[in-house]
Amino acid sequence: MTTHDPLASLDGARILLTGGAGLIGSRIHHRLRQVGAQVTVLDNFSAYDDSTFELLGVDRTSSEVVHGDVADEDLIRSLVGESDYVVHAAAYSTVAGCTTNPAIAFASNMAGTDIILRAVAETDSVRRFVFISSAQVYGNGTGGDQAQFFTEEMPTAPLNLYASAKEWGERHTRQLLTKTGTDYTIVRPFSVYGEGQVPKPDAYSWVIAQFSMYAALGQELPLINGGQAIRDRIHVDDAAEGICRAMVAEGASQQILNLGTGTATTVCEAAELVQGHFPQAVVTDAPRLGQDPLGGYASIERMSAALGWTPEISLGQGVARYIAWMNDTPRAIPEWLRKEKNRVSNWSAQESK
Ligand SMILES: NC(=O)c1ccc[n+]([C@@H]2O[C@H](COP(=O)([O-])OP(=O)(O)OC[C@H]3O[C@@H](n4cnc5c(N)ncnc54)[C@H](O)[C@@H]3O)[C@@H](O)[C@H]2O)c1
């Protein structure tokens, strides 16, 4: 830790980090440890298999890790009661998963959030509650066929259960904690990618991980709707840094903050960045998956003013880091992805390195 570390005030602070074994949570945990915070990770280890948690660097046997559920009221009350800060990152975090398994979505993303918020409202030990929402709350924004520029002032328009639960979590945070005068910050990450990310079969949007793995395996990179969809892709280390700063920045108090780069990237451009590392990789047109809105990118004015910071890792650097990690960690490529049928037959994974 340097003396100028903006998180220095967290040295010795007791922090409850729900979902701390996941992609973003594990990076938040790592960053908080650097500044000497006393972190308790609460996770039910439902998101991945053991090997993926291992790839994320999670030590399940650590005394900092509690294997439990956010919907366990007694456990939550006792953990929150011993905390100076609570970062609530646990969620059933795939959009399609929430749609097909609504009972899990309700239990984790709504009941669990309610239980944590009530526990935070009951105690006076918590200095700030940070709720990890999602850019999904914007839905299609104002619609139309232009790329959307999402500002926090825009009305929310969730299009699925995952997004509705996040929007509800935001409102519930404001309603409960305003009553008790507990400080809070709501963060809306855009599309997070980076080392350690292992695609899930039902997460279409993780194109950096998927395209890198397809390319390494000699499979085609499918461009749905010509790859014109737009996302704001933020590296997981930047996402974790932004969330940690949201815990302490004065300007983040009682704010809703986008967490993105402010840069729009098409899926086509993401594929080109991957092709820069795998020149033989070919792209192919893929059918539209139902409604496929163009998407959009973040206004980061409010975020940068509140946090005094902007993301530092460009998409080109992030893709290079992801591919270097994947090449060093071939076991990260999941079995289901290896079995996909669109393999390009005339070049091998060996040739691509
Ligand atoms: N990855 C993204 O692009 C992105 C974008 C916007 C918002 N978010 C949000 O950020 C947060 C972290 O996302 P992530 O990408 O790290 O997802 P992740 O799935 O990798 O991490 C979520 C963690 O929560 C845990 N979890 C799930 N249900 C739980 C429960 N009931 N009790 C305890 N633990 C539980 C999972 O096991 C997992 O370790 C989530 O709230 C997600 O909705 C993610």
- CA nearest ligand 1 atom 36, residue: 47
Q: Tell me the one-letter amino acid at 141.
A: G
- Ligand 1 atom nearest the C-alpha of 90 is 24
Residue from 24, 30, 202 whose mutation best tests the ligand 1 pocket (most atoms within 8 A of CB): 24
260 Cβ below 6 A of ligand 1: no
Residue from 26, 44, 93, 110 whose mutation best tests the ligand 1 pocket (most atoms within 8 A of CB): 93
Written as tens digits, the pLDDT of the chain (353 aa) is 545 899 999 999 999 999 999 999 999 999 999 999 999 999 999 999 999 999 999 999 999 999 999 999 999 999 999 999 999 999 999 998 999 999 999 999 999 999 999 999 999 999 999 999 999 999 999 876 788 999 999 999 999 999 999 999 999 999 999 999 999 999 999 999 999 999 887 665 689 999 999 999 999 999 988 898 999 999 999 999 999 999 999 999 999 999 999 999 999 999 999 999 999 999 998 877 666 568 999 999 999 999 999 999 999 999 999 999 999 999 999 988 888 755 443 333 322 22
How many angstroms separate the CA atoms of 88 and 247, rounded? 11
How many angstroms separate the CA atoms of 23 and 209, rounded? 13
108 Cβ below 6 A of ligand 1: yes
CATH architecture of the domain formed by 10-193+233-259: 3-Layer(aba) Sandwich (3.40)
47 Cβ below 6 A of ligand 1: yes
Of 72, 342, 321, residue with least CA distance to 209: 321
- CA nearest ligand 1 atom 7, residue: 134
Q: At what angle do helices 112-122 and 161-180 cross, to 10 degrees?
A: 10
113 Cβ below 6 A of ligand 1: no
Cβ partners under 8 Å of residue 224, min gap 6:
204, 267, 286, 287, 288, 289, 292
How many angstroms separate the CA atoms of 161 and 143, rounded? 19
3-class DSSP state for residue 13? coil
3-class DSSP state for residue 132? strand
Please give the structure tokens belonging to residue 237: 């280390």
pTM of the model: 0.95
How many angstroms separate the CA atoms of 28 and 37, rounded? 11
How many angstroms separate the CA atoms of 227 and 145, rounded? 14
Please report which helix (H) or strand (E) contains residue 322, including its range.
helix 315-328
- Ligand 1 atom nearest the C-alpha of 71 is 31
- Ligand 1 atom nearest the C-alpha of 47 is 37
3-class DSSP state for residue 234? strand
